[in-house]
């Protein structure tokens, strides 16, 4: 009998696969959980066409959605935003945050030491839970962080206008 398993239905141990996006002028760090299958395929953040991340940021900063990785990097540079993920490597099934196990956390301190990061925003509840679990030192020191609603298409409960409002208030608050 042939297997009826879906592709990507088995655990894989994966490394993050591409570097953090930041420069010395970065003031805000946005952390997701771990790159999706689509993001891993393009080797850059929020690569799934239905992820609302780039649309949300574009609306907040009143620019067109940047096309291509170079334009996205330039946008992030101009907005003083750094991007990375809470997880450096893990076992995962496809893009399922719910399947994540055997986590190796990201060295957030190496990013903080090279930037002017003053706030950390977590893209979604899973990123928030993992940040609190694996970045206890930062949490205990009171480093400013905030968990925001996920821009993932899996978070259909939060509408685009609500994401723009909530993320906008967080990103533009001094």
Catalytic residues: 51
- The answer to whether the beta carbons of residues 32 and 120 sit under 8 Å apart is no
Q: Degrees (nearest 5) of the Cα angle 105, 164, 84?
A: 20
- The answer to whether the beta carbons of residues 57 and 66 sit under 8 Å apart is no
Q: At 45, give phi and psi (nearest 5°).
A: -75, 140
CB proximity list for 108: less than 8 A, separation 6 or greater: 29, 31, 84, 120, 135, 138
Where would I find the beta strands (DSSP E) of 33-118? 81-85, 87-92, 101-105
Q: List the structure tokens of 138.
A: 């930062």
- The answer to whether the beta carbons of residues 52 and 151 sit under 8 Å apart is yes
Would you tell me how many other CB atoms lie within 10 Å of the CB of residue 146?
A: 14
């Amino acid at each position: 009998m042939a297997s009826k398993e879906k592709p990507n239905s088995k655990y894989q141990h994966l490394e993050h696969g591409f570097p953090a996006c930041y420069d010395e002028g970065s003031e805000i760090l946005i952390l997701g959980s771990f790159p999706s299958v689509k993001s891993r395929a393009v080797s850059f953040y929020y690569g799934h066409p239905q992820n609302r991340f780039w649309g949300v940021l574009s609306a907040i900063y009143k620019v067109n959605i940047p096309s291509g990785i170079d334009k996205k990097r330039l946008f992030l540079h101009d907005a003083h935003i750094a991007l990375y993920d809470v997880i450096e490597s893990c076992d995962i099934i496809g893009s399922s945050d719910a399947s994540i196990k055997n986590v190796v956390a990201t060295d957030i301190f190496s990013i903080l030491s090279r930037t002017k990061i003053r706030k950390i925003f977590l893209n979604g509840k899973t990123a928030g839970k993992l940040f609190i679990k694996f970045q206890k030192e930062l949490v205990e020191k009171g480093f400013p962080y905030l968990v925001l609603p996920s821009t993932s298409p899996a978070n259909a409960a939060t509408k685009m206008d609500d994401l723009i409002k909530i993320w906008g208030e967080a990103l533009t608050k001094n």
